[in-house]
């Protein structure tokens, strides 16, 4: 940070205690700030963060065991039917989004979630698609005469025969076996059957995003490979190899497993100095039959909850008030959400061979929350049964006791209004309110009416009527939650300076309106996701990235969060912890969203948006206060006082420096820490090297005020020195 941007005398000339600027009066040129004495609310928590799902190919490699589906378990299929047609023998969906093949759901279970027969369950005798690839149709074992159009039904299939989802078959015969290691609660192991002419091989690939990102999962320090194995018969061997493309193997071992199940572990010291390339773990059986199960690949000493140590360390630096657990788990079962890593199963709610997802468990997530002092915000699958909702409440009550959580937020699904999630979503507001309320009632019943459990239902931010309607229809939801993203569109021809200014265009009027509408109906408004959403328009990747990763991006995000606090929003969760880049609006262009970390190759490799969150959470909390402002620059300044007025955050949307005079009831020469995220040069970023950092200096109180100059597009925070 340039010192000249911070020094008051660089822009001002002081004479006999007065402050003057050429060409204007002191009062006009200086932004004079004063904290309002009345608090906006009794208490405001720190800003939250979406943890997101753990992946294997991009930057979202969160787990210490970097393997997806290490227990080689089969897929659980679960989805939502929004009933469009009923007859005496069954029902059909109202769209073709489930899109499953003939007989796919046959033998599965159904569970009516709304209407006169809510809670009715039974067996699916047959399923098919309507003519012309229309909606899925279901024939069931129980009369459905009381079912009505618009009712909601959850359907579950537990019969998938895919061999080791998320792994890749190499040569030879690969199958499954019901023979599992002692003490395992998984359902199956993997069978590798080789003969003298042909080995049998299973492979797992990692860190294969490509050259555009470099190594996102460096193999450094003490790692290990572990697995259960046994051979059937005699004479078989198992080769274990872990390597990165274009480099020597990190580990290569050949073992002869015993005839009984045994755990094999191999630790190694890694120094991943070669070029970027795909990581591959391979298990190859030769000359016989070998069973393997519950594999592990990753750092030898995991962090809290089985997450990577860099994940835990970075989250502690960001210090989120909440962690939101959104991984795409809409079709999960509660038992699977609570299961251990070796028995955890992939889940699928969308149609398609490659649509299954492997999630970390709820116990591991809660352990992580406790370790980083964040309150949990969990997403309840829309597909849960009555019994699952009760068990969910009991589990969360016990977890609150175990970890000492002050609050646990339970959100019903994710963006039910969004067609992307339609195979497990409930777009009709009336049905959504009914299904959510039934679940929330049972959650509270199971949790003993624990007041620490708070219920949330989400609505479309840009549609005020939607959030107001859900607030009316859901009696059990305490919060209506929205996602006030900003800068949705950027087009070719918009210059770099103008693009940065547009990142600061969003006002808080819609947020304020939605807060007010929710309050009329006895609800509070929360923010489940917020960040840039620059995925529309014709701009190139370079144009977009200059805005969303540049130095000013952190200030733009902080400004949006401060707007939410001033509007009366209590809980806000930034999206998202990790994510290197994302495709733009159906094109092949990429934009570097959504992660506020550039990657997790090392701890605290933060983008400016991450730096802004860390800055705010260093001072946020306690009673929030608005700050009065006088002078011509006030419209460009978004400002909030925290901790009863002791700490200050100011975000500038101005392309010019702004002199600040902040009135405080401070003792003469009392020292304050002034931290700044300088957005003066928006072209600086942290994508290839660290160019943007938080600057800090100490300033003194004089005449009960603090004076400094705020550079363009800059976030500043102040708090008493040593706090």
- pLDDT at position 723: 78
Bridge partners, 18 (sequence order): 15
Distance CA 717, CA 700 (A): 14
C-beta atoms surrounding 259 within 10 Å: 10
Distance CA 484, CA 298 (A): 37
Distance CA 689, CA 266 (A): 35
Is residue 20 over pLDDT 90?
Answer: no
Residue 532's contacts (CB-CB under 8 Å, 6 or more residues apart) are: 485, 486, 487, 503, 547, 548, 553, 556, 557, 593, 609
pLDDT band at 12 (very low <50, low <70, confident <90, very high): very low
Tens digit of pLDDT for each residue in 611-652? 999 999 999 999 999 999 999 999 999 999 999 899 999 999
- Residues 147, 281: one domain? no
- Residues 466, 327: one domain? yes
Report yes or no on 129 lying in a domain: yes
Tens digit of pLDDT for each residue in 241-280? 999 999 999 999 999 999 999 999 999 999 999 999 999 9
- Residues 333, 478: one domain? yes
Supply 568's token pair: 């009366």
Tens digit of pLDDT for each residue in 221-232? 999 999 999 999
- Residues 334, 263: one domain? no
Supply 400's token pair: 């609150």
**359: enclosing H helix or E strand:** none
Domain residues for 287?
A: 168-299
Is residue 504 over pLDDT 80?
Answer: yes
- pLDDT at position 29: 83
The 3-state secondary structure of 326-392 reads CCCCCCCCHHHHHCCCCCCCCEECCCCCCCCECCCCHHHHHHHHHHCCCEEEEEECCCCCHHHHHHH
Report yes or no on 437 lying in a domain: yes
- Residues 101, 246: one domain? no
- pLDDT at position 563: 98
Last residue of a domain, one of 482, 508, 529: 482
Is residue 355 over pLDDT 60?
Answer: yes
Is residue 6 over pLDDT 90?
Answer: no
Q: Are 477 and 440 in contact (CB under 8 A)?
A: yes
Residue 187's contacts (CB-CB under 8 Å, 6 or more residues apart) are: 73, 74, 178, 180, 343, 345
CATH code of the domain covering residue 633: 2.60.40.1180
What Cα–Cα distance (Å) separates residue 686 from each residue in 3, 57, 584? Answer: 21, 21, 21
Report yes or no on 241 lying in a domain: yes
- Residues 174, 283: one domain? yes
Report yes or no on 449 lying in a domain: yes
Distance from the first to the final alpha carbon of the chain: 23
CATH code of the domain covering residue 107: 2.40.30
- pLDDT at position 143: 85
pLDDT band at 27 (very low <50, low <70, confident <90, very high): low
- Residues 356, 476: one domain? yes
- Residues 149, 213: one domain? no
Tens digit of pLDDT for each residue in 564-596? 999 999 999 999 999 999 999 877 889 999 999
pLDDT band at 548 (very low <50, low <70, confident <90, very high): very high
- Residues 135, 183: one domain? no
Q: For the residues 290-318, what does the mean pLDDT come to?
A: 98
pLDDT band at 145 (very low <50, low <70, confident <90, very high): confident
- Quick one: what percent of the chain has pLDDT higher than 90? 89
Could you tell me how many residues make up the chain? 723
Which of these, 251, 249, 255, 278, lies nearest to 192 by C-alpha position?
255
Report yes or no on 501 lying in a domain: no
Is residue 23 over pLDDT 50?
Answer: no
**Higher per-residue pLDDT: 722 or 92:** 92
Q: Are 192 and 164 in contact (CB under 8 A)?
A: no
Q: For the residues 661-666, what does the mean pLDDT come to?
A: 92
* Average pLDDT of the chain to the nearest whole number: 93
For residue 132, report the phi and psi dihedrals to the nearest 5 degrees.
75, 30
- Residues 176, 151: one domain? no
Task: Count structural domains, the chain.
Answer: 4
- Residues 232, 335: one domain? no
- pLDDT at position 132: 86
Tens digit of pLDDT for each residue in 370-400? 999 999 999 999 999 999 999 999 999 999 9
Q: For the residues 302-331, what does the mean pLDDT come to?
A: 97
Residue 628's region, left for phi above 0, alpha for psi from -120 to 50, else beta, is beta
C-beta atoms surrounding 237 within 10 Å: 17
Report yes or no on 357 lying in a domain: yes
Q: For the residues 152-176, what does the mean pLDDT come to?
A: 93
Distance CA 454, CA 444 (A): 9
Tens digit of pLDDT for each residue in 38-55? 999 999 999 999 999 999
Report yes or no on 523 lying in a domain: no
Residue 259's contacts (CB-CB under 8 Å, 6 or more residues apart) are: 230, 231, 232, 234
Is residue 240 over pLDDT 50?
Answer: yes
Is residue 19 over pLDDT 90?
Answer: no
């Amino acid at each position: 940070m340039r010192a000249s941007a911070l020094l008051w005398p660089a822009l001002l000339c002081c004479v006999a205690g007065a402050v003057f600027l050429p060409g204007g009066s002191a009062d006009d040129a200086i932004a004079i700030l004063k904290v309002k004495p009345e608090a906006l609310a009794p208490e405001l928590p720190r800003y939250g963060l979406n943890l997101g799902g753990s992946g294997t190919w991009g930057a979202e490699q969160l787990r210490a065991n970097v393997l997806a589906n290490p227990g080689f378990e089969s897929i659980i299929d679960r989805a939502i039917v929004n009933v469009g047609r009923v007859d005496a023998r069954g029902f059909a969906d109202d769209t073709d989004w489930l899109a499953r093949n003939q007989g796919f759901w046959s033998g599965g279970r159904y569970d009516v979630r709304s209407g006169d027969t809510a809670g009715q369950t039974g067996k699916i005798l047959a399923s098919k698609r309507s003519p012309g690839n229309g909606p899925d149709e279901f024939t069931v074992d129980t009369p459905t005469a009381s079912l009505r159009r618009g009712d909601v039904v959850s359907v579950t299939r537990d019969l998938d025969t895919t061999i080791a989802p998320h792994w890749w078959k190499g040569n030879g015969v690969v199958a499954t076996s019901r023979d599992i290691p002692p003490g395992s609660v998984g359902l199956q192991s993997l069978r590798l059957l080789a003969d003298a002419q042909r080995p049998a091989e299973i492979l797992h690939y990692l860190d294969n995003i490509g050259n555009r990102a470099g190594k996102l999962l460096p193999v450094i320090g003490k790692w290990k490979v572990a697995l259960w194995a046994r051979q059937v018969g005699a004479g078989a061997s198992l080769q274990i190899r872990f390597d990165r493309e274009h480099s020597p193997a990190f580990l290569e071992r050949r073992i002869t497993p015993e005839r009984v199940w045994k755990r094999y572990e191999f630790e190694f010291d890694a120094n991943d100095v070669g070029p970027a390339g795909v990581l591959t773990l391979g298990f190859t059986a030769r000359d016989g039959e070998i069973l393997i199960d519950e594999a592990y690949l990753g750092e030898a000493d995991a962090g809290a909850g089985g997450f990577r140590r860099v994940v835990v360390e970075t989250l502690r630096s960001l210090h989120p008030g909440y962690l939101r657990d959104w991984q795409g788990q809409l079709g999960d079962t509660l038992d699977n959400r609570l299961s251990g890593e070796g028995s955890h199963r992939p889940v699928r709610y969308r149609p398609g061979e490659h649509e299954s997802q492997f999630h970390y468990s709820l116990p591991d997530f809660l352990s992580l929350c406790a370790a980083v002092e964040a309150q949990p915000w969990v997403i309840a699958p829309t597909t849960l049964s009555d019994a699952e909702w009760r068990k969910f409440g009991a589990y969360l009550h016990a977890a609150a006791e175990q970890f000492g959580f002050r609050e646990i937020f339970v959100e019903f699904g994710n963006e039910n209004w969004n067609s992307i999630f339609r195979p497990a979503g409930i777009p009709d507001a009336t049905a959504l309110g009914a299904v959510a309320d039934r679940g929330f009632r049972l959650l509270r019943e199971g949790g003993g009416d624990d007041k620490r459990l708070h219920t949330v239902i989400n609505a479309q931010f840009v549609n005020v009527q939607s959030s107001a309607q859900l607030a009316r229809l859901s009696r059990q939801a305490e919060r209506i939650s929205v996602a006030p993203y900003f800068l949705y569109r950027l087009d070719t021809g918009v210059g770099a300076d103008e693009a940065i200014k547009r990142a600061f265009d969003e006002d808080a009027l819609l947020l304020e309106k939605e807060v007010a509408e929710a309050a009329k109906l006895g609800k509070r408004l929360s923010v489940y996701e917020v960040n840039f959403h620059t995925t529309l328009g014709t701009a190139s990747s370079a144009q977009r990235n200059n805005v969303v990763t540049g130095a000013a991006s952190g200030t733009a995000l902080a400004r949006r969060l401060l707007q939410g606090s001033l509007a009366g929003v209590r809980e806000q969760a930034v999206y998202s912890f990790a994510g290197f880049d994302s495709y733009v609006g159906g094109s092949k262009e990429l934009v570097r969203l959504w992660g506020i970390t550039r990657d997790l190759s090392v701890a605290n490799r933060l983008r400016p948006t991450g730096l802004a969150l860390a800055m705010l959470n260093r001072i946020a909390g306690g009673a929030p206060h608005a700050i009065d402002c006088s002078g011509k620059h006030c419209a460009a300044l978004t400002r909030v006082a925290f901790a009863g007025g002791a700490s200050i955050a100011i975000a500038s949307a101005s392309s010019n420096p702004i002199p600040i005079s902040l009135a405080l009831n401070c003792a003469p020469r009392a020292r304050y820490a002034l931290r700044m995220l300088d957005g003066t040069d928006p072209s600086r970023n942290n994508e290839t090297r660290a160019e943007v950092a938080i600057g800090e200096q100490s300033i003194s109180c004089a005449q009960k005020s603090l004076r400094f100059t705020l550079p363009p597009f800059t976030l500043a925070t102040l708090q008493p020195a040593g706090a």
